[in-house]
Structure 1
Amino acid sequence: MDPAKTTAYLVGGGIASLAAAAHLIQDAHVPGNQIHILESGPLPGGSMDGGGNPDTGYVLRGGRMLNFSYLCTYDLLSRIASLTDAEKSVKDELDEFNAVPGNKTDAHARLVGRGIDGPEIVDVSHMGLDAKQRLDLIRVATTSEKHLGEKRIDGCFDAEFFRTNFWYMWDTMFAFQPWHSAVEFKRYLHRFIQEFPRINTLAGVDRTPYNQYDSIILPIETYLKAQGVHFQYDTKVTSISFFPPESHPQMTVSEIHYYAPTHGDHALIHIQKDDLVFLTLGSMTSCSSLGTNSTSPSPLPTPAESLTSPDGTWRLWSSLADPKVNPHHFSKFGNPSNFYSRVSESNWLSFTVTLKNGEFLKRLEGWTGNAAGTGALITFKDSAWLMSIVVPHQPHFLNQAPGTEVFWGYGLFPNKVGEFIGKTMAACTGEEIFTELLHHLDFPLEPTLSTSLTVPCMMPYITSQFLTRKAGDRPDIIPEGSANLALLGQYVEIPRDTVFTVEYSIRGAQIAVSELMGTEMPKEVYLGEHDLVVLLEGMKMLFT
C-alpha cells in the first residue's frame, strides 16, 4: 500500500490508537497529517488517565507496572522524545529514573495481616503452598488452552490455595479473582515466570517518573501533534458501514458514522480506496463512576445501561457483532456481551487520596521501612475488601501542588462489608474508605482525615478481559478477509500475550500496522521459561 495515498482513521484515543499512529508514521511512513484520531472524550489516553487539583482531589483510576519483558512498549517509548529533554527518549527517562537507588522497588511490607495486637507485616519469604497446590499450579501451566476451555481458576485449585501467600500476592499484583479464566491465569504463569523470584518484593517493576498519563500519554500526544496528526475530541463513533459483498468480496469499510456536538452533530466519513480504519474494541473503564470525599460512586450499570454509556464503545462493538445490523460480517467480531454483561464478576473500586498533611506518609514510611515510591503494593490480606495501596514517588503529577502528596489504592471485593466502617466499599464515601484504611493500619484519624481528600472510582468492567470465555469471543486483530480494518485494544486475540497490560495494547497496534502496511512484525512475546536460569529460579521460589 502506498503510504502517500493512505489516510488512516483511528477510532478511540487510548494507548492502542496512539501507538498505531506512531508506528504508521515511523514504520509505514504515512504522513502525520493523513492520520485522524476520533476520541469520544475530551483528552487522549483512554484508561491511562490522570488529573485533578488540590481543591477537589487528584484522580487516578489505576496504575501500571512495567518491566523489561514489555518489548513492544519499550520499543515505542524509545522512539518518543522526552518532554523535558529533546535529546532523550521517554525510555531513556524511565531508565534513568529507575536507576536511581532511592527509586528502586523493594517492598518491605508486601502483605499486611491483622494480628492480636494490630497490623502485622507478613513474612512473605515463602509462598505457603503445599505439595498438592504446587502440583495443581504445574498442571494448569502445562494444560492446553483448548482443554482448559471456559474453566474458572477456582475450578483448578482447592479452597486453601486462595489463602496462601502466593495467591494474595499474585491476585493483587495482577487483579485476578477466583472466578476468572483459568486460560488467562495460565498465560500469566508463563508470561511472568521471571517475576516469581521477586513476587514478594516486586523488585522487577519499573516505574515512570510521574503517573502514566503525564509520563507516557502526554509525550506521545505531543509527538503526534508535532507530526501533524489530527485529534478530534468529543466525537463518538456510532456505527461503521461496509461495502456490499457483491462489489467488494473482501470485508471493506465504506463509512464511519459519528456524533460530535462540537463538530456539527451527526456526520460521516467516506472511506476511500487506500484508506485504513483502526478500531479499538470495548473499554475496561467505560461507565466508570467517581464519588467524592463525601459521596459514594453510582451503582453498577445493567447490561442495557452498558450499551448506552457516553463513550459508546460497547454499543459500537455490539452493532458490529449483531447479525441484524451487520449481516455479512458479524461473525468476525467476536462476542462483546461476554465481557460487558457480567459486571458482578468484573468490577472493583479504586480510590485516590490527596494528602495536605505529611503525617500519613511519614508514619507509613516509618512502619514499613519504605520511602514513597519504593514499596510498590501493600495488600491488607485480612481486609474484607482485599484492599491494597500504592504510594508512588512524589510528586506524582506534573502539576501537583506544593505541600500535597498523592497515593492510590483499590479493593477487589467492593461489595463486601468493611471491618471498621460496617458498610460495603461500594457504598462508602471517600472519607469512609480512607477511615477504613487508617483503622487497618492503626494510625490515628487526625490530623490526617480532616486534611485529605479521597476520590473513589467504581469501574464495572476493569477486569472484564479476565472473564471466562470460549474460542472466538475475542476477534482477530485483522478479521478474516478484511481489506482495510484492524481491531485494537484489550479484547482482541493475541496468542501467548496477556491482557490487562500496556504491552498487549501496544503489541496489537504494532501487529495491525504490520499486517495492513507490510512493515516488520513486532518482536516475539517474551517467555522467560525458555531461559533455563529464569525457569530454575522461578521453580525454586515456587517450592519455598
Structure 2
Amino acid sequence: MKKDYEKEQVYFVGGGLASLAGAVYLIRDCAFPGKNIHIIEEMKIIGGSNDGAGDSEQGYVIRGGRMLNDETYENTWELLSSIPSLDDANRSVRTEILEFDRAHPTHAKARLVNKDGEIEDVMSMGFDLSDRLAMAKLIITPEEKMGKARISDWFSNHFFETNFWYMWATTFAFQPWHSAVELKRYMIRFMHEFPRIQTLEGVTRTPYNQYDSIILPIKKYLDQHEVDFEMKCTVTDLDFKDSDGITVTAIHYTKDDVAGLIELNEGDRVIVTNGSMTDGYSLGSMTKVPVLNGKGNSWKLWDTIAKKKPGLGNPTSFDNDIAGSKWESFTVTCQDSRFFDLMEKFSRNKAGSGALVTFKDSNWLMSIVLAYQPHFLNQPGNVKVFWGYGLYPDNVGNYVKKKMGECTGEEVLTELLYHLKFENDHEAILKSANCIPCMMPFITSQFMPRAIGDRPQIIPEGSTNLAFVGQFCEIPDDVVFTEEYSIRSARIAVYKLFGINKEISRINQYQYDIRSLFSAFITSYR
C-alpha cells in the first residue's frame, strides 16, 4: 500500500549535490510529491561545490573539479542512470558520461614535471622498505586505534619525497598533516587504482564541467517534478523539542535581510548539509588578489546546533584550522589556442586525454589539467579553458617571489609559464588569457584529523526527523571529497527517514580481491 505524503514536507538545508540527490530519491523511490520538497540555498545558484560558471568575455570559473571512477562510485552511477540527458531524454546521464569517457579515455603521459621542465619517469613508486611496512600497517590498523593521527605521524620523511606521494597527494589533495584515517580509507577504496596512479586511467571524465554535465540535468528533473527551490535564503538555526531525543520543531532563516521561521508539523523532516568545503571562497582577477575569508553560514549553523544536542558532531575539528585546510585554485580562459598547442606538444597528450600535470619542485606544489574542449556549454569554439591549483598558497613562488595567496591572476599564470619554460610565449599568452584565482579556506577541511564522533551519524541516535548529508557526516569505509560520498549519504538519509526497504549500492571491497592485492603489492616494488 502506497503511503500518502500529501501533508508531509521535507526541508533540505543547502542546495548541493547531496540535497539534489536526496530529492531525486524521495521522488523516485518514495513517490514523495515534489511540491512538498523544499531546497533552501543561500547562494543564487544550486549545485554547491559542483560549480562551473562564467563566459568567454568575463572569464570562466571552476573552483574545483570532481573526478569520477567507473569501478567505484556505486550509488552515483545508479542515480545518474535514472536522470535523462539534457540532449536526449531517451539517454541517461550515466550513459552519456560513460560513452564520452570511452571515446576520450584518460592516459596521462606527463604526470610529474621537475624543476628543469622535464617530464619525470614515474613508473617507480619510489618506496623503500620502511615506506612499504608503514603502508601495510596503516591498512591493517583499525580506525578506532588510530585516533587523530596525522599522515606525518605514520610515515617517515622519505615517504613524502616518493613519486607515489606526489601523485597520490595531488590527485586527491592530501597534505602531510591530514588525517591518517582518511588516507587509509582512500588506500583501501582505490586500491585498484594504485597500479595505474601514474596514468590516472581510472578517472572517468564528464563531457563538460560537473555543473553542466551533472547538476543541470538533475535540476531539470527536479523542476519537472515541481520541487521548490528557495534561493538566496540562509538557514541560521534549528529549534529542537525539549526532550532527550532529537526532534526539530522549527527552522530559522533570513532572506533579503528579513528573519523568518518555518514551524514543522508532525511528519515533516529536515535534511542538513553540515559544513561546506567551498564555504568562504573568494575570487580574484588578473589584477586582483583573492582575500582569505573566515567561516561562512554553513559552518556557523553547524557550530550553533552542535551545542544544543549531543550526537550532532564536533565542527571545530574541521573549521578551526584554516591554515591546514586551505588551498588556491585558478581557472584560465584563453582567447586562442597558443597555450594549449604548446602544452599538448610538451605533455604528448591532447586536451582531455591527459590528467593532472604536477610540478613536483614547485614551491606552491602546482598542478594543472587540460580538459576536453569545450568545457562549458556556452563556450565558443575559439576559446580554451583550463584549471589548476596549488597546495601550498603560503609559500613564496620559485619565479614570482610572492606567496601564491598574495598573487594576482597574472602573477599565478606567470609562475606557471616559467615552470613550463614557456618564457618566449609569456607575453602573448598573458595578452590573450584571463586567469581567475580562487582562495578556498576550507577546501580540505574534511581531511583534517578527527576523532570518532566528530562527524555525526547520518541519522543521529534519537533523531525522529533530522538527518545529515554531505562531506561531514559519517559513512563507515567510504571516502570524503567525492561525489559518491554526498550521493550515498543522501540515499541512506532518505531510506532510513522514510523506512524504505531497498538495497543501497554496496562499497566494492577491493582489499579482499586477491588480484587487487597482488597488483598493489607488485606496484609497491616498482
After the TM superposition, which residues 118-517 of structure 1 pair with which residues of structure 2 at under 5 Å, given as runs? 118-245=116-243, 250-261=245-256, 265-301=258-294, 306=295, 309=296, 312-322=297-307, 326=308, 330-443=309-422, 444-517=425-498
Q: Deviations over 1:160-183 (max 9, x none)?
A: 110100000000000000000011
RMSD: 1.1
Note if 1:96 corresponds to 2:99: yes
Deviates more, 1:533-542 or 1:178-187: 533-542
What is the number of residues matched between the two proteins? Answer: 520
What is the CA–CA distance in structure 2 between the aligned matches of 1:35 and 1:540, rounded to whole Å? 51
What is the CA–CA distance in structure 1 between the aligned matches of 2:268 and 2:53, rounded to whole Å? 35
What is the CA–CA distance in structure 2 between the aligned matches of 1:436 and 1:250, rounded to whole Å? 55
Q: 1:29 aligns with which of 12, 19, 31?
A: 31
What is the CA–CA distance in structure 2 between the aligned matches of 1:495 and 1:216, rounded to whole Å? 26
What's the % identity of the aligned pairs?
50
Corresponding residue SS for 2:117? strand
What is the CA–CA distance in structure 2 between the aligned matches of 1:532 and 1:523, rounded to whole Å? 22
Q: Match for residue 79 of structure 1?
A: 82
Query: Counterpart amino acid of 1:536?
Result: F
Q: How far is the alpha carbon of 1:29 from its aligned partner?
A: 1.0
Partners of 1:385 and 1:418 within 8 A in 2: yes
What is the CA–CA distance in structure 2 between the aligned matches of 1:357 and 1:19, rounded to whole Å? 38
The TM-score, its normalising length taken from structure 2, stands at 0.97
Q: How far is the alpha carbon of 1:300 from its aligned partner?
A: 4.6
What is the CA–CA distance in structure 1 between the aligned matches of 2:508 and 2:231, rounded to whole Å? 35
Moved over 2 A (4+): 1-6
Q: 1:40 aligns with which of 42, 45, 50?
A: 42
The TM-score, its normalising length taken from structure 1, stands at 0.94
Q: How far is the alpha carbon of 1:90 from its aligned partner?
A: 0.2
What is the CA–CA distance in structure 1 between the aligned matches of 2:154 and 2:464, rounded to whole Å? 41
What is the CA–CA distance in structure 2 between the aligned matches of 1:153 and 1:58, rounded to whole Å? 35
What is the CA–CA distance in structure 1 between the aligned matches of 2:18 and 2:303, rounded to whole Å? 20
What is the CA–CA distance in structure 2 between the aligned matches of 1:287 and 1:367, rounded to whole Å? 36
Partners of 2:292 and 2:440 within 8 A in 1: no
Q: Match for residue 110 of structure 2?
A: 109
Q: Is there any run of 5+ residues in structure 2 with no aligned partner, and where? A: none
What is the CA–CA distance in structure 2 between the aligned matches of 1:20 and 1:392, rounded to whole Å? 29
Q: 1:51 aligns with which of 53, 56, 67?
A: 53
What is the CA–CA distance in structure 1 between the aligned matches of 2:411 and 2:208, rounded to whole Å? 27
What is the CA–CA distance in structure 1 between the aligned matches of 2:401 and 2:124, rounded to whole Å? 33
What is the CA–CA distance in structure 1 between the aligned matches of 2:7 and 2:461, rounded to whole Å? 24
What is the CA–CA distance in structure 1 between the aligned matches of 2:449 and 2:139, rounded to whole Å? 17
Deviates more, 1:347-356 or 1:268-277: 268-277
Query: Counterpart amino acid of 1:15?
Result: L
What is the CA–CA distance in structure 2 between the aligned matches of 1:87 and 1:534, rounded to whole Å? 36
Partners of 1:514 and 1:521 within 8 A in 2: no
Corresponding residue SS for 2:204? coil
Partners of 1:3 and 1:28 within 8 A in 2: no
Q: How far is the alpha carbon of 1:28 from its aligned partner?
A: 1.1
Partners of 1:300 and 1:343 within 8 A in 2: no
